[in-house]
Amino acid sequence: MTSVQIVLASTSPFRRELLARLGLTFVTANPATDETAEDGEAPEATALRLSEAKARAVAAQYPEALIIGSDQIACLDGQVFGKPGSHDKAVKQLKTMRGRTVNFFTGLCLLNAKTGKVHLRGVPTLVTFRNLSDDQIENYLRKEQPYNCAGSAKSEGLGIAAIARMEGEDPNALIGLPLIALCDFLNNENISVI
């Protein structure tokens, strides 16, 4: 299929599972990137910058490879909802987002480490949450424990029941890796997935 090595700059099992759907041979690498937003940086700009930073972080290890980096930020009225990391923060996030529409913006980068060429795209997904009761939020969090997911929403699991509507160009973007855009990038690097 391809003799060029493909590297996923991520330790996310969800991104790994999504990339595996394309049937490509790839390896994963930990990008160990600081995911802090810069002062005054728009959420969309942060996601794009971090997706490229993650790809560049592993480029020295894989100087001949095509490296995939991705980052996602959930945003509502200018407020960023990152990975909650704890139950209490997840409760607060979901209470704030219930009955509202949140932009889950996923940045995607494909870096050709050999040529230095960068393919970069942002893919928004608008997610409208159900108007969940406090008990429903607690039940969901106890069952799913999505503490490592932006916005405490894990749509590939039970979190789908917390969602009333989704609008976007690629359902995979919400899980963390926009495969439609990635296929475009790979085609531009003369790699045909099918």
Catalytic positions are 71
Cα distances from 132 to residues 1, 127, 143, 165, in angstroms, run 47, 14, 15, 14
122 vs 84: CA distance, rounded Å: 22
Q: Give the type of residue at 180.
A: I
3-state secondary structure (DSSP) of residue 110: strand
Q: How far apart are the first and last CA of the chain?
A: 9
Alpha-helix residue ranges (DSSP H) falling in 67-178 = 87-97, 134-144, 171-175
Q: Which residue has the tokens 């996602």?
A: 72
CA distance 48 to 67: 15
Helix, strand, or coil here: 26? Answer: coil
